[in-house]
Structure 1
Amino acid sequence: MWGGNVTAFAGGIAAAGAIVAPSVRNQMTYEQRLASMANTAFAEQNTAGRRTGMRSMDQLIRRSVAVGGGSKETAADTLDTLLASGAVDYTTAEKLLPMLQKYATATEADPKELAQIAIRLKQSFGISDNQIPTALNMVIKSGQLGSFEIKNLAKWLPQQLAAANALGMNGLGDLAVLLGFNQASMISAGSPDEAGNNIVNLLTKINSQDAANSAARIKFNGKGIDLPGTLVRARSKGFTALEAFSGLTDKIVANNPEYQALEKQLKSSTTDSARQEIMQSQAKILEGSAIGQIIADRQALMALVAWRANRQYGNDVIKGVNQQRVLPLSQQSGEQNFDLIKGTNFYKVNQLNNTRDFAQMDAIQPLSDVLGKLSGELNDYAGAYPGLTKALAGAETAIKAMTAAAWAFAGIKFLSSAGAAATAAGTTAAGAGTAAATATRIPGWAGRLGLGRVLAPFAVWQGAEAVPLMQVSRGDAEARARLEKGNYPNDQARMLDALKSRPGLMDAWDEVKSWWASPSNIRVPESANGYPVPPFAQQPAVQTPINITTQLQVDGRVLAEVVNEANGQSAARGPQGGPH
């Protein structure tokens, strides 16, 4: 029984290693991702509870993609971002994920970055779960009203929210102010990243101890400036720290004639380049003023100058985004954008691809389960019998080596045979003493690929990657015998036998099977721990290697060269024997 089992084990291990096609790998990778997220989201539950969580997350991802587009990968990444933050529990994530997928599709933003905004809104700005859809629509509207677009806001807003919260800013109203400052900052900046960074620096500097100390040393109306107190009093009157500091700047520069002259020039300027030059000049004046002492940062000053120079524009942005707060959800910017996008052909095709992707995973699930179970059992068996594992690894290597040898022996014929019928004759199986004659015809593309129906398991083992043009049948044993004798009336007869005798994949398979004797010839040794240990699982005896080198020649020329020449002459003749 051991001989037959070994062959089965060899095929099992080889198949388990090579059958992982893209569709199977896709399903396994997705399952692994769900398991990883379940360990985070359901950490307080046992294994059964986490498996239930995996199924719930799978359904959530499918529903989110169906509602908002994207892909299962982006949805899984976004869900992972939400859960890993610690600010969002699974119940909240179930509400947020479909919306984030939808708004990412509507704005071509990364849903993970939108998730980061939602997380920071909850953590830093006191935004409730019910307010997050409106807050995100305010962000989307801001990108529509200015040149600091949603993708830029998604990158910079999380940092800004944390810095603004340190200044006492929170809620939807303060979010609108921060969005207005971002759009104004973009006007004076050379790039979106510069604009976003300028706002971060301004928020950080206003709240620094250095700024408070510097302000205290500046005399205004005979007294030092109490910067923290000024910001607190402004807050009590409904102004944000940004607005309050801008007002303080107004008072300090009001008596600076040079700065006031630049203000007038700015109001009358109509070109962007001219306005840029004026704002740069204003920043230099501020650097040398009391404001420059309070905020010793060029980037922060540029954000302040941009707001003061474009205050009306910034206020228009604030007003526009605040309108989102009073509109029905269906009329807010993100929803309207999505309504248009979902009618496009690209979106529809993407949704069809998602449907097909999930259907393929569902269809392949049983195979994945079987493959996983088989791999586990084979791995356990390999651990119990390491000698068997070594033998099987050698089998795979040997088959590949014989394949390479067959290519070298008659490669030009393989490339030109184009799937012709192959005949196998008279091969004696080692240890069995039974002659078997088989004839296998490999039609059409299957013949060209070397994938006969009788060798389907072997083709699966190769993973459709090896032996693409190899003949399948055994070489002609009688032709080999005649070649050894060498009695031929002419060179054409010798070449014909040489082509017939070329080795095929069945020769390789016969060689592998011969490594294990038939069941009747295997002696079961003494038991070890109650289990028989077959000899092939034991350490093999060291044997002296036998090296055989065979070279076939025709009139002193290597056979392959003769075959090349013959095939070249054949190719030059047409189907009726004449030239093409």
Structure 2
Amino acid sequence: NLDSLRKQGIEVGRLDRAYQMLGRTARQADLKAQGHAQINEGRASVKSAVGRAAVGAAALAVPTKVSADYNAIIRDIAIKAGIANAPEEKQMSRTIIDTSRDTGMARNEVATVVNELVGAGMDLAKALEYAPVAAKFVIGQGSDGGETAKMINALGQNAKITSAKEMQQALEAIAFQGQAGSFEASDMAKWFPELLANMGKLGITGMDAVTQLGAMLQVQMKTAGSSDEAANNLKNWMDKISSSQTVDAYGKAGIDYEASMQTGIQQGMSTLESSMALAKKYIEQTDPKRAAKMAEATAQISKESNPEKAKAMMASLEQALRTGDIFSDMQVKAALTAYMQNKELYGQLKRESREASGILDKNLAERRETSSQKWKEMAQSMDDAMRSVGDAIRPITDGVAEGLTSVAKGITSLSDRTPGLAMGLTVLAGGALTLQGLLGSFKIGKGLFSLARGAMGGRDAKGVQKVFVTNAGDDDKEGGKGSKV
């Protein structure tokens, strides 16, 4: 048998060594495979730990940020109102949250409206009382929260509207007029603050200021190309009413301006309405024929259904008003033209808007039925849930923030004084790893060690190794035994 093996080229004396080499090769492969598996397991463990830590941090960061942003607005209001850290601050926050839930207006937007009102000098209690009706107007009329707050402030300061009931009535009237004409309620919120100031200078306040201004803006839209143009035309008219140039022009025409204005007021007209009536009288007195043509043209324009013809007739009427004196200003002339053409509409809108009620609730309900608003409120409810969680954990997160701030300041101070400690501090900071992260790192190290052992033939890096030396001359001896060293 041995001869047969030798004839086939097999060195029987070396079989034992071959078996040993085969064993070592298998062991190397096994260790390398084990090393790769350990490294992959450790890497996955570390990645999982870091991932979970990141997700956990993000989960805490979101509600913390939402709560902090809202709390910043609340504190700003509280500081202005002098109730910071007082029980009233929490009650204010609760009122704002409830208003948001009941009206569908975003919580921070409600808080911003209250902040605008308080910032303009309004008492906090009154601002909170106005918040629900303001929110109804914003959502129902598609208005801007900031502009609505400015309008409410103007209604209080310039129109002298001071009760919640009258404020709601005023906003109902504005909403009604916005739907009755083409000068929308959201545009009124933009222009009312400035124009109400002019009305106040004319002595027109209360609901009279609201109904007359709203109706007049609707009338102005009949001859203007945009809401801004209509508002500017009316603004220029009011600016010119009592100017010295206007008074002089009336005097030259033989009209006592002050006495005539007073007569109009005694007949139940406001200063604004009296100024329009006096302008008509001025034209009639200075040019009776032109005044007659103007009256005829106005009547025809009101009946004309063809927009192009009405436009041409309007241009003709505007030309008729060019007297070369107080009505030479295009914007002033346009304001007068619009009023004279639509005087009946003005009276109707003024009367009906005063009696308007239920518009705000109706429009709010209609707006909240839309899919768009439903999705907005869904997002707002999620945001408020985050706010609630953030409020609950705020003592902890605030404590962490304070602690980290102290640590950071301490590190800065130590590092500035002893730069050599910076490296040690950085190493110590690594100790913040989670236990799972450390175990993962250990597994990676273990895997690397296994790979190293595999590369060394399955032997340990240290220690005495057994070595077999085979004498070349013993190949022909039976068994092929070598000498063990």
TM-score, length of structure 1 as denominator length: 0.60
- Percent identical pairs in the alignment equals 23
- 1:93 offset after TM fit, Å? 1.3
Deviations 1:154-190 (A, max 9, x none): 1111111111111121121342122111111111111
* Structure 1: distance between partners of 2:401 and 2:61: 15
1:68-147 paired onto structure 2 within 5 Å: 68-86=103-121, 88-129=122-163, 130-147=165-182
Q: 1:237 to 1:364 in 2, by over 3 A?
A: same
Indicate which of 313, 335, 339 corresponds to 1:307.
339
Query: 1:125, 1:171 within 8 Å by CA — same for their partners in 2?
Result: yes
Give the counterpart letter for 1:477 in structure 2.
Answer: L
**Residue of structure 2 equivalent to 1:202:** 237
* Structure 2: distance between partners of 1:21 and 1:168: 54
Q: Does 1:477 align with 2:448?
A: yes
**Residue of structure 1 equivalent to 2:22:** none
Query: 1:206, 1:295 within 8 Å by CA — same for their partners in 2?
Result: no
Q: Does 1:335 align with 2:375?
A: no
- 1:356 offset after TM fit, Å? 3.4
* Structure 2: distance between partners of 1:238 and 1:396: 84
More helix by share: 2
SS at the partner of 2:444? Answer: coil
Query: 1:211, 1:295 within 8 Å by CA — same for their partners in 2?
Result: no
Q: 1:389 to 1:169 in 2, by over 3 A?
A: farther
* Structure 1: distance between partners of 2:100 and 2:172: 20
Deviations 1:351-394 (A, max 9, x none): 44434333322223343322222222332344345255678987
**Residue of structure 2 equivalent to 1:367:** 393
* Structure 2: distance between partners of 1:283 and 1:213: 23
- 1:104 offset after TM fit, Å? 1.7
Q: Does 1:298 align with 2:330?
A: yes
* Structure 2: distance between partners of 1:303 and 1:210: 18
* Structure 1: distance between partners of 2:282 and 2:271: 17
Backbone CA RMSD of aligned residues? 3.6
Structure 2 residue runs of 5 or longer lacking an equivalent are: 1-49, 458-485
Q: 1:472 to 1:368 in 2, by over 3 A?
A: farther
Q: Does 1:236 align with 2:218?
A: no
Indicate which of 192, 202, 214 corresponds to 1:179.
214
Q: 1:474 to 1:240 in 2, by over 3 A?
A: same
- Structure of larger gyration radius: 2
Q: 1:332 to 1:366 in 2, by over 3 A?
A: closer
* Structure 2: distance between partners of 1:115 and 1:71: 15
1:184-263 paired onto structure 2 within 5 Å: 184-216=219-251, 218-219=252-253, 223=254, 225-254=255-284, 255-257=288-290, 258-260=293-295, 262-263=297-298
TM-score, length of structure 2 as denominator length: 0.71
Indicate which of 160, 163, 167 corresponds to 2:195.
160
- 1:27 offset after TM fit, Å? 0.9
Indicate which of 301, 314, 317 corresponds to 1:266.
301
- 1:240 offset after TM fit, Å? 1.4
Structure 1 residue runs of 5 or longer lacking an equivalent are: 1-10, 325-330, 403-428, 430-450, 459-469, 489-580
- 1:212 offset after TM fit, Å? 2.3
Q: Does 1:454 align with 2:436?
A: yes
Query: 2:220, 2:231 within 8 Å by CA — same for their partners in 1?
Result: yes
Q: 1:308 to 1:55 in 2, by over 3 A?
A: same
Give the counterpart letter for 1:478 in structure 2.
Answer: F
**Residue of structure 1 equivalent to 2:63:** 23
* Structure 1: distance between partners of 2:375 and 2:237: 45
Query: 2:297, 2:313 within 8 Å by CA — same for their partners in 1?
Result: yes
Give the counterpart letter for 2:274 in structure 1.
Answer: A
**Residue of structure 2 equivalent to 1:55:** 90
Give the counterpart letter for 2:444 in structure 1.
Answer: R
Q: 1:472 to 1:359 in 2, by over 3 A?
A: farther
Deviations 1:212-252 (A, max 9, x none): 23333x22xxx2x3333332332232101222122122223
**Residue of structure 2 equivalent to 1:378:** 404
SS at the partner of 1:162? Answer: helix
Aligned residue-pair number: 392
SS at the partner of 2:153? Answer: helix
* Structure 1: distance between partners of 2:413 and 2:166: 64
Query: 2:64, 2:397 within 8 Å by CA — same for their partners in 1?
Result: no
Q: Does 1:317 align with 2:356?
A: no
Higher-RCO chain (CA-CA 8 Å, sequence separation at least 6): 2
* Structure 2: distance between partners of 1:349 and 1:394: 52
Query: 1:68, 1:99 within 8 Å by CA — same for their partners in 2?
Result: no
Give the counterpart letter for 2:342 in structure 1.
Answer: N
* Structure 2: distance between partners of 1:301 and 1:398: 80
Shifted more, 314-323 versus 389-398: the winner is: 389-398
**Residue of structure 2 equivalent to 1:436:** none
SS at the partner of 1:190? Answer: coil
Query: 1:452, 1:472 within 8 Å by CA — same for their partners in 2?
Result: no
Give the counterpart letter for 1:274 in structure 2.
Answer: K
